[in-house]
Amino acid sequence: MPEGTIVITGASSGLGAEMARQFADLGYDLALCARRTERLDGLQAEIAAKHPERQVRTYALDVTDDDAVISTTQQIAADFGGFDRFIVNAGLGKGAPVGKGSHYANRETLETNVIGAFAQAEAAMQHFRERKQGHLVVISSVTAVRGFPSSMTAYAASKAAVASLGEGIRSEMLGKPDLDIDVSVICPGYIRSEMNEKVEQKTKYMVDTVTGVRSMVEAIERRRAKAFVPAKPWEAIARAMQVLPLPAVRKLF
């Protein structure tokens, strides 16, 4: 069974909570972070009941607060004696068409998904550089491949930014043989979660949370540099999106 400690942000619901369950099943200790601590406490109790041998701690964290991200990450390292993997997962899916006067929703998404991700990566990489090893995981999205219209524009742009962030850090680590630090960019397709549970219309290619997260966990465990998950159909769709004209991309969804 794997051993080690994983930090997961945005762990109070959706993909983050299910990743916590599945990584606990695999044998990892967990540091779970989110703004909503009451949900974290419930998740902690659930995992403890199933895996009493696992160490699971919860931390209140707003990833848009840079100082809090740094101090909480340092506290986690002190509590666990270090951590082995940091999953940058916290995010928002709010959005509005650009120019319609609802820029505040787009701004909030960009601040959380981009600036918050940079803060998390900074804190995690400080720890990994000190230890000379670790695994940084950035949760992006298939929407990072091309621009998306309407209420998805800011979200897709934010996920493109974090995908580039992860690849940039990985590129730097390739040039540092003294550091055993892996960086993975995980790009989920449509996985049912709290972020999209209010979407009433049927969405193409949507899978349930457990199935979708299982594919994410498998890619993370394999330390894939970049993975579109579930692989079927999203690897093929992502390749098509890269070369198709924009009107054709719109018809895919």
Supply the residues annotated as catalytic. Answer: 155
Count other Cβ atoms within 10 Å, centred on residue 151.
18
Q: Give the separation between CA 140 and CA 156, rounded to whole angstroms.
A: 9
Q: Which helix (H) or strand (E) holds 187?
A: strand 180-188
Distance from chain centroid for Cα 103: 24
Pair 170, 146: CB distance under 8 Å: no
- Supply the Cα-derived Rg of the chain in whole angstroms: 18
Cα(first)–Cα(last) distance of the chain, in Å?
Answer: 39
Q: Give the separation between CA 99 and CA 248, rounded to whole angstroms.
A: 24
Q: How far is CA 46 from CA 129, 226, 244, in A?
A: 33, 31, 45
